[in-house]
Each structure stands twice: as C-alpha cells, then as structure tokens.
C-alpha cells in the first residue's frame, strides 16, 4: 500500500496515507484551484501514470520542475523518488530518500504489478489500473464505457482488460499470439503484392501457371536431351547452374531496386512503412529481395514526410550506391560464366532462361498457396479465439452482475444495479432504473467497487465531479461502502458539512483538508492580478 508522498512544493511537506478510504477534503464553499484534483493526479503519478505531466503544466510553469518522494509497504517498506524533469526514470532510495539506484518507469510498474499480485500473462500494471483512476480531464466521465482507458481504445482491448483482471487471459494468450503472428505473415504477402515485390495471382492465373510449368519442364528436358546428344552435357555443371541462378537473383534485385528508386523520386511525399518483421517474412517468401539493402529504402520511406529534401537526396544516393553494388556483382558473375568454355552455347543459354522462367512461376504459385493457407489458418484461429472467449466471458459477466447487485442493495436498500454484458470482442453497460446523471455515476461507482472486490485491482481513484450530481443520502451510503474496503480508495470531496451521517468517517479518513488559505502547493496562481 502507498504510505506517504513528500515534496518541497507541498504546503504540508508530507502527506500520509492509510488502508481503505483516503479522502482529500475541500471546503464548504467548494473552492476551486486549491489542489484537490492535482493531488489525485500526483497519486496517479506515484502509481506510474503520466497524466500529471500533461494535465498540470501550470504547476510546473509556476513552481518549476519538482520531485516527489514516496514509499510503499508490501513485505517491507520501499522508498522511491520520481520527478517531472525525467519522469521515465525512478530512483530507488534508502529510508532517508537518498538515491541508491535508477530504474526505468517500466521496471517500477513491473515491481508494483508483482507486489500487488497482478503479474498476469499479457498484461501491464498501467493497462490494468488506468481506467479505474477516474480524475477530472482524464477518464472520470466514462459512465457508458467503464472499461475504456482512452478515447482511441477499441472495445476488444477493453474486453481484454477485464479478462486479464480476472486472470483468465492466459487461457487465450497462446491463441492470440498465434493469430497475431499469422496475420503478420499474411500482411507481409499483401504488402509484397501492393508494392510489386511479387505478382498477385487469381485462381485462373494460378492454373495457367501450372500448365506453363508443365510445358516448361518438357521443354527443359528436350533441351537437356539435345545438349546431351551433342556431347555438351559436361557444360551443364553444377557450377554453371549455380552461377546462372545467382545471376537471375541479382537481376531481379536490380530491377526491383530501380523501380523503388523511380517510385520514390516520382512520389517523394508518400510515407511508405514496412515493419522489420515484414522484411523478415519477405526474405522468406521472396528470396530475391535483399532484406538488409532494402531496409535502407524502407528507412528512406519512413522519413519522407518529415525530413528535409537534403536528407532525402542523401538517402536516394545511398540506395543508388546499393544499386551500383548489385550491378558490379552482376558484371562479376557474367565474367565467371564467360570463363566457362562454351558457356555462351545457344542451347545452354536457352536452357538457363527456361529454368529461370519455371522458377519464377513456381515461386508465384508457392506464394499464392501460402497466402491461401494463411487465410485458412487465420480463420481457424479466429474461430477458436471466439469460442475460448465465449467460454470465459459469461462467467466474468455473471460475477460482476452478482457483485453489483449486492453493492446496489447496500447503497439503495434494494437492487437497482446496472447490467453488464460481455462477449468475445465487445461489452455493454446499461444504466439501472433511473437514466439521470447522478444515477449514472452511482452505477459507475458500483461497477468499480465490484471489480475492486472481485479482482486484485489494488486501488480506486474517484475525483470530485463523480459525486457532484449524486444526492446527499446516496453519497453517504457510498462513503460507508468505500469505508468497508481494506484496499486503498482515494477520493476528493467538498461541501462536507451537508453529509451529517458520515462526518466522523470523513474526519477520520481525511489525508489532507484544503481551502483557499491552506492550498496543496506553497504558491497559488489561479487569480488574475
């Protein structure tokens, strides 16, 4: 659990925390800009978040770069420091908050994930907790989508989050990773087609290739027999064929690189991106592509939209140098072939061309077959994933709904709980009997408490706006519900004189009390001068 936060920018230099409910109290005038939300953002920052940096720029502007010293208790006390200047690094400290070791933010979050017993497969600490830290301007208003951590997040990602929280993601992780890898392979072939690294076939052209391959095999045999009858078979040494094969590969490379450079010069503003894995797969399915050399071209593409023309020309020159290297290799192999006696025999050259043509058609058909195999495999994996998710989701759904019913009875005196429904890639959160704003936030609180109770989720953070539209009696019941949990729940609340039945609870559970004279920070700046 979080024990304390210290900072030189605090009016009270240290803020101490306890198990269960931790209340940031405002005054009875509901005074703004005294630090209620900022303290919750700082708590999020202490738990590995980044919103404090982006949402509290005014604090840094007026107080300068600053640091927070904080401690947790798990099996023992742990001491850390995190600052705004380099927020991606955390200092591990001794009990006097003297620096001992620097660790990355990722490693710090892994530490929290392990200590809170949330080291679930395929998950990160921030992904699991972020959407339950509901602070003004961050995610406090997701009453319809309580599992969405950001506006851009897909429903499937939200579903994955709740599956991970219930430690069921390991059941589908191997299928999910296999699906991802298969899709990556299929996308590689798609990109090969899109950018002319390979010719896309139809079923008709595939069958035509088969006929042409048969024809070419017959022609190759006829030429070989003709050469043999002329006692020229010794010229068809393994060395000859290897050299011809290598020459054909280099010529294909040269052609492709020339086309790429022409395309780049013609359309210099396009941002063409292929991942490293894509190039790995291209090498597998289209071996004539030189991965290391074409990677330079890929780098060039990625820069097109951002860098200066001077740098673009430098990259074109680099690609041109690669082209020169290939041309030199072609000349060298040509010379080796010419050194072989009678290598320019017309029959021999014709045989080499037929072999080259046959190899090309076979590679086209091989890629066509691989593409279809990957499609079938991808469809099969998707079906298995859906089936596995549909085994997991109903159990999670029932657990959450049952828990919300129990919480709702304690808040309302009867079951007015919302309904949570989930399937393999989406979910819904239907409001309860009353469609008003206040009830929507009660439903959201009910959902969060259900997750807190059913999983290893370690904390909840609920900012002041969540409570603003909820009637007094209901808030009093909610505070009593909060107070029944041992896990840490951080909330901000003001105008507390109206909550008569929980006055003692709020006084006992407050971690700080703020007003216009006793603000969180040593300096105020909200008023215009």
pLDDT in tens, 366-422: 999 999 999 999 999 999 999 999 999 999 999 999 999 999 999 999 989 999 999
- The DSSP-derived string for 357-410 is HHHHHHHHHHHHHHHHHHHHHHHHHHHHHHHHHHHHHHHHHHHHHHHHHHHHHH
Q: What is the model's pLDDT at position 297?
A: 54
Q: Which two tokens stand for residue 180?
A: 């991802």
Helix (H, G, I), strand (E, B) or coil at 198: coil
Residue 453 near residue 436, CB atoms below 8 Å = no
Element counts in the chain: helices (H) and strands (E) = 16, 13
C-alpha–C-alpha distance, residues 100 and 96, integer Å: 11
- The two most distant CA atoms of the chain are separated, in Å, by 111
Low-confidence residues of the chain, pLDDT below 70? Answer: 139-141, 228-241, 259-316, 319, 337-345, 432-433, 527-529
Q: Are the CB atoms for 56 and 38 separated by under 8 Å? A: yes
Q: Report the distance separating Cα 379 and Cα 469, nearest Å.
A: 48
279 contacts 290 by C-beta, under 8 angstroms? no
pLDDT of residue 474: 96
Tell me which residue of 481, 419, 424, 487 sits closest to 452, measured CA to CA: 487
CA distance 213 to 360: 10
Contact 511, 40 (CB under 8 A): no
Which domains does the chain possess? Answer: 2-132+487-513 (3.40.50), 187-383 (no CATH)
Enumerate long-range contacts of 359-362, CB under 8 Å, 24 or more apart.
359/245, 359/248, 361/209, 361/212, 361/213, 361/216, 362/213
- Please tell me the distance from the alpha carbon of residue 521 to that of residue 529, in angstroms, as a whole number: 19
**β-bridge pairing 14-16 and 459-462:** unpaired
Say how far apart CA 493 and CA 506 lie, in whole Å: 9
d(CA 139, CA 447): 15
- Exposure string of 329-360, with b = 16+ CB inside 10 Å and e = fewer, is bbeebeeebeeeeebebebbeebbebbbbbbb
């Amino acid at each position: 659990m979080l024990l304390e936060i210290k900072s030189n920018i605090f009016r009270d230099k240290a803020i101490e925390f306890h198990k269960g409910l931790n209340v940031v109290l405002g005054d009875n005038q509901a005074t703004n800009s005294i630090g209620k939300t900022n303290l919750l953002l700082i708590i999020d920052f202490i738990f590995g978040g980044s919103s404090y940096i982006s949402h509290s720029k005014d604090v840094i502007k007026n107080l300068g770069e600053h640091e927070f010293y904080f401690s947790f208790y798990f099996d023992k006390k742990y001491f850390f420091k995190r600052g705004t200047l380099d927020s991606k690094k955390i200092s591990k400290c001794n009990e006097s908050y003297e620096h001992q070791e620097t660790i990355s933010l990722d490693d710090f979050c892994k530490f929290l994930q392990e200590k809170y017993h949330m080291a679930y497969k395929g998950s990160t600490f921030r992904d699991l907790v972020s959407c339950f830290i509901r602070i003004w301007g961050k995610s406090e208003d997701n009453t319809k989508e309580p599992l969405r951590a950001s506006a851009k997040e897909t429903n499937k990602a939200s579903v994955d989050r709740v599956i991970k929280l219930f430690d069921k993601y390991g059941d589908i992780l191997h299928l999910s990773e296999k699906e991802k890898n298969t899709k990556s392979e299929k996308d590689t072939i798609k990109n090969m087609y899109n950018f002319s690294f390979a010719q896309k076939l139809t079923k008709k052209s595939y069958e035509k290739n088969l006929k042409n391959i048969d024809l070419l095999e017959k022609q190759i045999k006829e030429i070989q027999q003709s050469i043999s009858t002329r006692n020229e078979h010794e010229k068809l040494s393994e060395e000859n064929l290897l050299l011809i094969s290598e020459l054909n590969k280099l010529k294909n490379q040269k052609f492709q690189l020339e086309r790429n450079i022409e395309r780049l010069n013609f359309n210099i503003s396009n941002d063409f991106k292929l991942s490293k894995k894509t190039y790995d797969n291209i090498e597998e399915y289209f071996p004539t592509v030189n991965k290391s050399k074409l990677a330079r071209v890929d780098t060039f593409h990625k820069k097109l939209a951002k860098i200066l023309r001077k740098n673009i020309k430098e990259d074109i020159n680099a690609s041109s140098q690669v082209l020169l290297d290939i041309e030199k290799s072609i000349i060298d192999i040509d010379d080796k072939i010419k050194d072989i006696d009678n290598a320019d025999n017309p029959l021999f050259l014709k045989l080499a061309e037929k072999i080259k043509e046959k190899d090309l058609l076979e590679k086209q058909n091989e890629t066509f077959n691989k593409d279809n195999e990957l499609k079938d495999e991808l469809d099969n994996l998707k079906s298995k994933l859906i089936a596995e998710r549909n085994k997991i989701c109903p159990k999670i759904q029932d657990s959450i709904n049952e828990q919300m019913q129990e919480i709702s009875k304690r808040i309302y005196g009867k079951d007015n709980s919302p309904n949570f429904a989930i399937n393999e890639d989406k979910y819904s959160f239907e409001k309860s009997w009353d469609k008003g704003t206040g009830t929507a936030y009660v439903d959201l609180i009910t959902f969060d408490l259900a997750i807190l109770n059913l999983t290893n989720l370690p904390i909840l953070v609920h900012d002041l706006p969540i409570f603003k539209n909820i009637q007094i009696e209901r808030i009093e019941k909610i505070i009593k519900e909060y107070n029944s949990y041992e896990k840490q729940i951080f909330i901000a609340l003001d105008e507390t004189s109206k909550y008569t039945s929980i006055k003692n609870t709020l006084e006992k559970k407050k971690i700080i009390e703020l007003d216009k004279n006793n603000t969180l920070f040593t300096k105020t700046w909200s008023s215009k001068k």
